[in-house]
Chain A
Amino acid sequence: MSPEFRDAAVQVTYLVASVLFIFSLKWMNSPQSARRGVWAGVWAMVLGVGGTLLNPAVAVSSLPWIALAVMVGGLIGVPLSKVPLTAVPQRTALSHAFGGLAAGLVGTAKYYLWLHEGGANLTTFRMFAISAEVILGFLTFTGSLMAAGKLQEILPGRPITYRGQLMINFLTLGGAIACATGLIINPQWFFLFPPLVILSLAFGVMLIIPIGGADMPTVIALLNAYAGLSAVAMGFVLDNTLLIIAGALDGSSGLILSIITCKAMNRSFSNVLFGAFGSAQEAAGGEEGKTVKSASAAEAAEIMGQADTVVIVPGYGMAVAQAQHRVRELYDQLTKRGIKVKFAIHPVAGRMPGHMNVLLAEADIPYDDLIEMEEINPEMPQVDVVLVLGANDVVNPAAKNNPKSPIHGMPIIEADRAKTVLAVKRSMKPGFAGIDNELYTMDKTLMVFGDAKAVVGDMAKALAGDSGMH
């Protein structure tokens, strides 16, 4: 094979792979075509890797080692794909860490390789791209590890704040950028490269420490965008269009998801990243002495049994309690009686965008009954019973009517406008954001205390027991 032919073959496979990546994401626009999207992605990846192996720079003698590395990765990857769906957020965060690590390592290798060759290849533009790749890659690596640790509850989920935190964070990032600038001015200043790597790694840790669990949907989306951008930077370093295109697709996905989650919390990026939302100080101010009415699971079941429409609002509590299969039983019992059951899904319910949908789909609930917040809110006044299941801040009316509340302005599922509210909760402890929820003290609200899984199971049983009643 002539070098020119080989070269053309590489570029053509990259072109086809790029198109397939675009289709892969395009087909995610509906659940019917989505699995085709996965296959498009798989083929794109196979072509991308295959095309790269055609590259004359890849020696035949290296192939066994490359295959070995792929196998090692695959052996770690298979168990990672079998985690319970409640653990998908931390799995995703962990994958971002691997992606960031790969990008950072390649950037580092390229820098030293070109430096070793004398540095003629280290043009200003390339040094800029390498710096971006290394900063983004390594900060994504440690930041995602921290996020995964928080989600897995190896690390405390509450924000950790200390005096001068913002200052130290900015100095760390500033230091990394200063090293990068120095290297761009003169790539031969190799002594600046190790501090660049270390400061980027440190910044990733420090960026995530002050961010609480409730903000994780935004953080994961943002880390997704960073991983994409580091792939783009790698594409510029290696003059590789496939990397640029796939990275840009990935980056725009992360960007859109973080915008959606920020909007769903009525907050800005900088507020999520530097706000230390829900830190302990804010939790202190709560009114006490309000009475709460409570009911047993059986009583709650009876109320639902007499309704025409029931809307279930799931939240992270449902995921923690692994209650989705009991929810399915309740759904079955209610629909059997001709009661219309819908699920109201808040964009940031759970720990990553779309988390609730996946859990409910796992429990075989048809996706036609999973309704977005904007769609369900106008119907709320006609809804007989709202069952709030492990959700808290996303149904807190303070977001609408208390300008002093830290979540004021956040769009919520307007459970308070329904005729009756049933709220399943472990205790009266405030939610992740540490804010009181006046929904629980309203006249039409009945609290059902207990573990979500047990309570919902009891509800379903109670309904099954007296099915002749309706």
Chain B
Amino acid sequence: MTPFLAAAEPSGLTAYIPLIFVFILATFIGLDVIRNVSRLLHTPLMSLTNAISAVVIVGAILVAGPPVSDEHPLWITILGLVAIAAASVNIVSGFLITNRMLKMFKSRKPEEKS
């Protein structure tokens, strides 16, 4: 069993410590990486993180995935499917518009005087 599955056992707070570690460390990486993003690109950065936050589609798939049954009523599946659609909007539009904007950023051509 992986440690992450161990955390799935409902055995109190200590089981979640590894996940809290992951969160804290990822936040530090995030702060550091974002601080180095060029100010020129803050608008594309925001549309890119928009697409990245659509990773919630993973959770939505896990909700919509199990077969409909007494334990997993249809309306739960529908909530999951709506969430998948909402997240997909962000994935598609987020990546496309970021790429579209970034294509426009051009450096001065070398032959022009500076």
Contact = CB atoms under 8 A, between A and B. Distances in A.
Given A26-B36, A78-B93, A105 B82 contact: yes
A253 B85 contact: no
B39 A361 contact: no
The prevalent SS among residues of A at the interface is: helix
A349 to B, nearest CB: 11
A463 interface: no
Interface string A215-253: 000001100100110111011111111111111111111
A250 B34 CA distance: 9
B38 to A, nearest CB: 6
Nearest to B40: A357
Contacts of B83: 101-103, 105-106, 109
The prevalent SS among residues of B at the interface is: helix
A372 interface: yes
A31 B113 CA distance: 21
A364 to B, nearest CB: 7
Given A41-B48, A62-B67, A95-B47, 5 more contacts: A29-B37, A98-B54, A117-B71, A123-B12, A364-B106
B30 A73 contact: no
A78 B53 contact: no
Contacts of B2: 7-8, 11
Given A37-B48, A41-B52, A73-B87, A113 B37 contact: no
Contacts of B101: 85, 88, 358, 361-362
Contacts of B58: 48-49, 52, 238, 240, 242-243
Task: Bin chain B's interface residue count.
Answer: 35 or more
Interface residues of A, number: 126
A369 B54 contact: no
A59 interface: yes
A99 B31 contact: no
A121 B10 CA distance: 6
Interface string A82-93: 110100100110
B45 A253 contact: yes
Contacts of B12: 123-125
Contact of B38 (A29, A73, A105): A29
Interface string B86-113: 1111111111111111111111110011
Interface of A: 7-8, 11, 18, 21-22, 24-26, 28-32, 34-35, 37-38, 41-42, 44-45, 48-49, 52-53, 55, 57-59, 61-62, 65-66, 68-74, 76-78, 80-83, 85, 88, 91-92, 95-96, 98-99, 101-103, 105-106, 108-110, 112-113, 116-117, 120-121, 123-126, 220-221, 224, 227-228, 230-232, 234-257, 260, 335, 338, 345, 347, 352-355, 357-358, 361-362, 364, 366-370, 372
Given A112-B76, A120-B10, A256 B93 contact: no
A36 B4 CA distance: 31
Contacts of A21: 52, 55
Nearest to B48: A41
Contact of B89 (A49, A61, A98): A98
29 contacts: A22-B29, A22-B33, A25-B33, A31-B107, A38-B98, A41-B98, A45-B57, A52-B65, A58-B61, A65-B81, A66-B61, A73-B85, A73-B92, A74-B88, A81-B97, A85-B101, A88-B101, A98-B86, A99-B86, A113-B63, A221-B46, A238-B62, A250-B30, A252-B27, A253-B45, A253-B46, A257-B34, A353-B46, A367-B40
Nearest to B30: A252
Given A66-B64, A99-B87, A358 B104 contact: yes
A241 B42 contact: no
A8 B1 CA distance: 9
Contacts of A239: 4-5, 7-8, 19
B43 A241 contact: no
Contact of A69 (B5, B81, B98): B81
Closest 8 CB pairs of A and B: A73-B88, A354-B42, A77-B92, A252-B30, A58-B65, A81-B96, A248-B26, A366-B108
Contacts of A126: 10
A55 B65 contact: yes
A390 B86 CA distance: 36
Given A65-B64, A126-B10, A244 B53 contact: no
Contact of A38 (B46, B92, B102): B102
